Chain A
């Protein structure tokens, strides 16, 4: 008797060189963990998302309706894909789609798509605008944040104690360090145009940035934490090279946050280690980061762990952290037959070829 392979759908195949989405790295982790014993369905929003053409990671790929088109169209598209692919688990990886996915969790379950995500309240509490409130409750140090509906604040902010440099941030994504009102206003408009209003301003924290990825089990426990320091960044500040670190103090910061939120699902905690060695909470991303392949590199394959949890299986034991393991990205060209691009453009789905 032939056993049906476990099928997992992963979004965020936009592995762009300067600002990669996490989906391809998640798919690579799953392929490393399960080999040919799993089917991976790659989901993207643009026919030029690079991960959609890598057959060694994605057995089939589909285009989705953009999040701005609303939850109904997204659900309709996922329902159509589910009818064909019989997906067991869906791993959403993009900030912009996650509010919709969280809201759709029950309906996704009804069509047989298991997820391992936070609920709407947990999701909202870690939003950038509410981060100080969360940090306060968890007993974590944090820089002050303000929500802005217009850029007038930047003209007079230094008179009320908000001295430059400051960090201007989008409500979902993006952050720019600004040194004066002119830069701040320009950053406000640029971020508002791309990510919408409100725009946030955060006090600048000098120091070194560290990132921690892990999974909350939904009962207050942090599983499989992996810590990383960027060693080289792209023009957009994304990690181009990084090194695994291990600091029990940072792990404890993340444990407090996960416990306070009762977080369920993957997350990335971004902190600055200030000159006094204190970790200040900068952001919590409600998904795996694009550097998650490092988790496989240090023996803590977090996407594989998430899949086990989503399937209701016990969490496997995690290896001890391996600080000093590095990653370095590289740009790579995939040769794509026009017929494949055409199929994806016209039919919204295709079966990519395995590359090299």
Chain B
């Protein structure tokens, strides 16, 4: 994971997103829409609940029954995708 970061984009930006159960996401400010898989959807919901990264990883482990390394890898990867979408 060298060189990778767990920084999410601005939390206020992520909290304004409208998430649907289908994995469809709409940003009411920019008008952009996205799709996410179940993991991404869960991470975004947890971010919107203002959980910190450690808590998000723990929740993912519990919900998807995966080990900590896999959960951390998924979160790092998703954080990178979010940074690409929400500069």
Interface residues of A (CB under 8 A from B): 208, 210, 228-229, 231, 242-247, 273, 275, 277, 323-324
A228, chain B: closest CB distance, angstroms:
8
Give B29-56 interface residues, CB cut-off 8 Å to A: 29-33
Asked if A324 contacts B30 (CB within 8 A), the reply is: no
Asked if A246 contacts B29 (CB within 8 A), the reply is: yes
- Closest A residue by C-beta to B10: A277
B47, chain A: closest CB distance, angstroms:
20
Asked if A247 contacts B18 (CB within 8 A), the reply is: no
Asked if A229 contacts B30 (CB within 8 A), the reply is: yes
B17, chain A: closest CB distance, angstroms:
11
Using Cβ atoms and an 8 Å threshold, which residues of chain A touch B26?
A: 323-324
Between B28, B30, B31, B33, the greatest number of chain A beta carbons within 10 A of the residue's beta carbon is seen for: B31
* Cα-based distance from A246 to B30 in the complex (angstroms): 8
Using Cβ atoms and an 8 Å threshold, which residues of chain B touch A229?
A: 30-32
Contact of B87 with A by CB under 8 A? yes
**Which residue of B29, B32, B33 is within 8 Å of A247 (Cβ)?**
B29
Asked if B30 contacts A208 (CB within 8 A), the reply is: yes
Interface residues of B (CB under 8 A from A): 18, 26, 28-33, 87
* Cα-based distance from A341 to B7 in the complex (angstroms): 65
**Which residue of A242, A245, A275 is within 8 Å of B30 (Cβ)?**
A245
B7, chain A: closest CB distance, angstroms:
18
Using Cβ atoms and an 8 Å threshold, which residues of chain B touch A275?
A: 87
- Closest B residue by C-beta to A247: B29
Give the number of A-B contacts (CB < 8 Å).
Answer: 30
Using Cβ atoms and an 8 Å threshold, which residues of chain B touch A324?
A: 18, 26, 28
A157, chain B: closest CB distance, angstroms:
30
Asked if B31 contacts A243 (CB within 8 A), the reply is: yes
Asked if B30 contacts A273 (CB within 8 A), the reply is: yes
A-B contact pairs, 27 of them (CB 8 A): A208-B30, A210-B31, A229-B30, A229-B31, A229-B32, A231-B31, A242-B31, A243-B31, A243-B33, A244-B31, A245-B28, A245-B29, A245-B30, A245-B31, A246-B28, A246-B29, A247-B28, A247-B29, A273-B30, A275-B87, A277-B87, A323-B28, A323-B29, A323-B31, A324-B18, A324-B26, A324-B28
Using Cβ atoms and an 8 Å threshold, which residues of chain B touch A277?
A: 87
- Closest A residue by C-beta to B26: A324
Using Cβ atoms and an 8 Å threshold, which residues of chain A touch B33?
A: 243
* Cα-based distance from A297 to B33 in the complex (angstroms): 19
* Cα-based distance from A229 to B32 in the complex (angstroms): 9
- Closest B residue by C-beta to A250: B29
- Closest A residue by C-beta to B87: A275
* Cα-based distance from A210 to B26 in the complex (angstroms): 16
* Cα-based distance from A79 to B53 in the complex (angstroms): 71
* Cα-based distance from A291 to B82 in the complex (angstroms): 31
* Cα-based distance from A323 to B18 in the complex (angstroms): 10
Sample of 10 more A-B contacts, CB < 8 Å, known A244-B31, A246-B28, A324-B28? A229-B31, A229-B32, A231-B31, A245-B30, A245-B31, A246-B29, A277-B87, A323-B26, A323-B31, A324-B18
